């Protein structure tokens, strides 16, 4: 394999999922999502679908009515990783990964996940509107979205955009759209630090293995910028909230 191929493969290699979330926090969210046997689970902006696979497994696939899942994303490599994960866990007959725009998916499901993908719908409020149309009556939505924990500097606001709201603003936006908040929790500092560390870790390791690669300088600059922006800008300022919403 060329080092360039190693570079592509290393990108998200150290991440369990692409969001600040510890495994025990994920287990709590799945418990609150309450996936029932036979449910249809949909993940819009699924990445490689680790949480989708766990949600389907939590619903159960061996009983008389198997739980089924669909993950939708625009990243072909992530979807391929999701298919491999599903096959490794014998879930490939139960979970389908579809290349497509999250906002173009219209088939409703009993349980819907949208984590870190509100931008695919045009931002927080637009996502809360659009997702209402794909959650079946009596269903639940696990919505993971960014919010300002503290007021951002203009430089930080420029990175994440002016659509980001505060936590009370996020709860209010959900309530105004007819959602009931069944659960709310936020990523803590260690979850954020682990997320940021694992986001860069695959490529940090690549840099250490291939320091002479012609791409190394560009990758080093990108990773250095990201770390600088995090510790010097949005660490403790940008939050990530997980809401389980019902309607
Ligand atoms: C922050 S990641 C979160 C991935 C996943 N939900 C997770 O928690 O691991 C956001 C995901 O949204 C996907 N995405 C971005 N724009 C999209 C679009 N228009 N339609 C579908 N997916 C999109 C990205 O490819 C990426 O996988």
Domain count, the chain: 1
Instruction: Assess if residue 157 is contained within a domain.
Output: no
Q: Is 53 in the pocket of ligand 1 (CB under 6 A)?
A: no
Q: Whose alpha carbon is nearest atom 1 of ligand 1?
A: 116
Structure tokens at 118: 């509100």
Instruction: Assess if residue 45 is contained within a domain.
Output: yes
Instruction: Assess if residue 104 is contained within a domain.
Output: yes
Spatial contact of 40 and 109, defined as CB atoms under 8 Å apart:
yes
Q: Is 73 in the pocket of ligand 1 (CB under 6 A)?
A: yes
Spatial contact of 97 and 83, defined as CB atoms under 8 Å apart:
yes
pLDDT tens profile 86-103:
999 999 999 999 999 999
Residue 3 has pLDDT above 90, yes or no: no
Instruction: Assess if residue 221 is contained within a domain.
Output: no
Q: Whose alpha carbon is nearest atom 11 of ligand 1?
A: 45
Q: Whose alpha carbon is nearest atom 13 of ligand 1?
A: 45
- Phi/psi at 119 (5° precision): -60, -25
Instruction: Assess if residue 228 is contained within a domain.
Output: no
Q: Is 18 in the pocket of ligand 1 (CB under 6 A)?
A: yes
Q: Whose alpha carbon is nearest atom 26 of ligand 1?
A: 47
pLDDT tens profile 146-175:
999 999 999 999 999 999 999 999 999 999
Instruction: Assess if residue 120 is contained within a domain.
Output: yes
Q: Is 102 in the pocket of ligand 1 (CB under 6 A)?
A: yes
Mean pLDDT of 200-215: 96
Q: Given this model, what pLDDT does residue 49 score?
A: 98
The answer for residues whose C-beta is within 8 angstroms of residue 70's C-beta and 6 or more apart is: 40, 41, 42, 43, 95, 96, 97, 98, 107, 109
Instruction: Assess if residue 42 is contained within a domain.
Output: yes
* Angle, alpha carbons 90-111-37 (nearest 5°): 55
Q: Whose alpha carbon is nearest atom 27 of ligand 1?
A: 47
We report the CATH number of the domain holding residue 111 as: 3.40.50.150
How far does the centroid of ligand 1 lie from the alpha carbon of residue 73, in Å?
6
pLDDT band at 63 (very low <50, low <70, confident <90, very high): confident
Residue 247 has pLDDT above 90, yes or no: yes
- Tell me the C-alpha distance between 238 and 125, whole Å: 18
Q: Given this model, what pLDDT does residue 85 score?
A: 98
Please identify, by atom number, the ligand 1 atom nearest to the C-alpha of residue 101. 20
Q: Given this model, what pLDDT does residue 136 score?
A: 97
Q: Given this model, what pLDDT does residue 5 score?
A: 82
Instruction: Assess if residue 195 is contained within a domain.
Output: no
Residue 106's domain comprises: 19-146+162-186+238-246
Three-state DSSP class for 136? Answer: strand
């Amino acid at each position: 394999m060329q080092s360039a191929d190693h570079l592509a493969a290393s990108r998200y290699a150290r991440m369990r999922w692409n969001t600040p979330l510890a495994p025990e926090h994920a287990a709590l969210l799945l418990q609150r999502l309450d996936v029932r046997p036979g449910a249809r689970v949909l993940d819009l902006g699924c990445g490689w679908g680790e949480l989708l696979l766990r949600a389907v497994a939590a619903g159960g696939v061996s009983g008389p009515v198997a739980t089924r899942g669909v993950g939708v994303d625009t990243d072909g490599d992530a979807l391929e990783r999701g298919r491999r994960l599903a096959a490794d866990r014998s879930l490939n007959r139960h979970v389908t990964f579809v290349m497509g725009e999250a906002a173009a998916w219209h088939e409703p499901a009993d349980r819907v996940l949208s984590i870190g993908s509100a931008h695919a719908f045009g931002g927080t409020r637009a996502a809360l509107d659009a997702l209402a149309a794909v959650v079946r009556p009596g269903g639940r939505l696990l919505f993971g979205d960014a919010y300002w924990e503290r007021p951002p500097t203009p430089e930080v606001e420029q990175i994440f955009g002016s659509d980001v709201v505060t936590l009370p603003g996020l709860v209010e936006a959900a309530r105004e759209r007819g959602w009931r908040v069944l659960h709310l929790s936020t990523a803590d500092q260690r979850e954020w630090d682990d997320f940021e560390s694992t986001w860069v870790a695959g490529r940090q390791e690549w840099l250490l293995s291939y320091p002479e690669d012609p791409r190394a300088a560009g990758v080093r600059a990108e990773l250095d910028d990201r770390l600088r922006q995090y510790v010097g800008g949005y660490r403790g300022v940008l939050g990530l909230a997980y809401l389980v919403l019902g309607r």
